Amino acid sequence: MSFVRCLFVSTLMTSVLLLAVAHASTSETARAHRDAAKTRVPAALAVRKDLGPPPAGVTELKFREVFKLPVGPKGLEPTDKLSALDGKRVRLVGYMVRQDPPPKGTFLLAPLPVQIGDEDESLADDLPPTALRVDLGKSRDLAVPLLTGLIQVTGTLHVGMRADPATGRSTPAQLVLDAAPERALRHVARDLAAQSKTHKHL
């Protein structure tokens, strides 16, 4: 925001244009989140009743396997299973966190539906510490469309508490999404953008 404001001071017309563009971009992403209930969940991420075992070479990881239970007197500790999966492909089932502002090229996956607002709540919110960051390897500028309900993600796990450079939010492990679900997310985003354009012309 400070960048936009500086431009505003230096040249009013340019900044008005930039603000309009930024507003349009934000509006589209925000609309994607608002219309999430209507957003179809692509097959590569959908969870059906009989999920079945993960594909060969992929290990199932559950949120309750992220930290040792009960919690120790000095805090959380990663499970041996989590540590052993560093660099391996895993499948995780959870909920995409509804974020405000919406994320680009990444999203958070939590064990239950959560909504967080970084601007309003800073980092003191109710995001479960087991939530993991899911990164889109090749689509870092993609405004990730919000998918509601349970989803499955498959990708390569990187274990270790690391902060998201954009938000400062730390997660105990990060998962780089496989190409197929990443491609599916891009298609959903593209479809939403097309729908948005159609609506504008109506």
106 DSSP 8-state letter:
E
37 sits near other proteins (criterion: CB under 8 A): no
Rg of the chain, C-alpha, whole Å? 19
34 sits near other proteins (criterion: CB under 8 A): no
Choice from 50, 75, 200, 202 touching other proteins (CB under 8 A): 75
Closer of 143 and 152 to other proteins (Cβ)? 152
47 sits near other proteins (criterion: CB under 8 A): no
Backbone angles phi, psi at 47, to 5 degrees: -115, 120
Q: Which two tokens mark 116?
A: 């967080």
Q: What gap in Å lies between CA 145 and CA 51, rounded to an integer?
A: 23
Choice from 76, 176, 180, 193 touching other proteins (CB under 8 A): 76
Q: Which amino acid is at 157?
A: L
148: nearest Cα among 36, 66, 68: 36
- Residue 133 Cβ, how far from other proteins at the closest point, in Å? 11
Q: Which amino acid is at 171?
A: T
Closer of 74 and 200 to other proteins (Cβ)? 74
Closer of 106 and 143 to other proteins (Cβ)? 106
Length of the chain: 202
Q: Which residue stretch of 27-35, 43-51, 76-84, 136-144 sits at the interface with other proteins (rule: CB under 8 A)?
A: 76-84
70 sits near other proteins (criterion: CB under 8 A): yes
- Burial of 34-72, coded b for 16+ CB within 10 Å and e otherwise, reads eebeebebbebbeeeeeeeebeeebeebebebbbeeeee
Closer of 121 and 197 to other proteins (Cβ)? 121
73 sits near other proteins (criterion: CB under 8 A): yes
Report the interface residues with other proteins, using CB under 8 A.
Answer: 1-2, 5-6, 8-9, 63-64, 67, 69-78, 111-114, 121-130, 160-163, 168, 170, 172
